[in-house]
Amino acid sequence: MKKILFMLMCMFICIPTIANAHTELTSSNPKEGQMVTEELDEIVLDFAGSIEELSTMKLMKDGEEVSLSQVQVQDKKMVGSPSTPLENGSYIIDWIIAGEDGHPISGKVSFTVQIKQMQEEKEEAQPKAANKENEQQDKGEVQKENQTSSNSVTTIITVILLVVLCLGVALMFRKKRK
């Protein structure tokens, strides 16, 4: 009985660390939902931990792949360079990485390219640009809140597991006294 209880306690202690081992996307250029108004020379994805060389990304427009001249992995970054200037339209960066723990993780980042139209709009009304910047900042704050709530859930689970562990130890020593 004591061995089983000890094994359960060890397992509960290890679960929060396993959950935190996955590498996640921390930032990107272009950012999620960003409207790109100038020619984009490279796409940069930054991750929380180191990523493996097998990691890759694809750039998609209207369901078709847009060629990237190269994709390089540099410790916690993945950098891709479009082989030709991007046309106006909506794009999705479809990425797949192998994190430090070896698990495959995937995700998407969407953005829009509007080079010529945005230059004309800037000349007409500069206050509109300020509103778009505020919207982009709000999106960034929402992403930070989502990360914070994820961290809160992990903290709650850790506290619950520690309480269960303490109760198990208390029960184990209580039986020894009898």
**Residue range 135-147, pLDDT digits in tens:** 666 555 555 554 5
Q: Is residue 90 over pLDDT 60?
A: yes
- What is the mean predicted confidence (pLDDT) over 35-40? 92
If pLDDT is split at 50, 70 and 90, which confidence band does 75 have?
Answer: confident
Q: Is residue 94 over pLDDT 60?
A: yes
- What is the mean predicted confidence (pLDDT) over 72-82? 92
If pLDDT is split at 50, 70 and 90, which confidence band does 115 have?
Answer: confident
- What is the mean predicted confidence (pLDDT) over 83-93? 93
β-pairing, 35-36 with 104-113? parallel
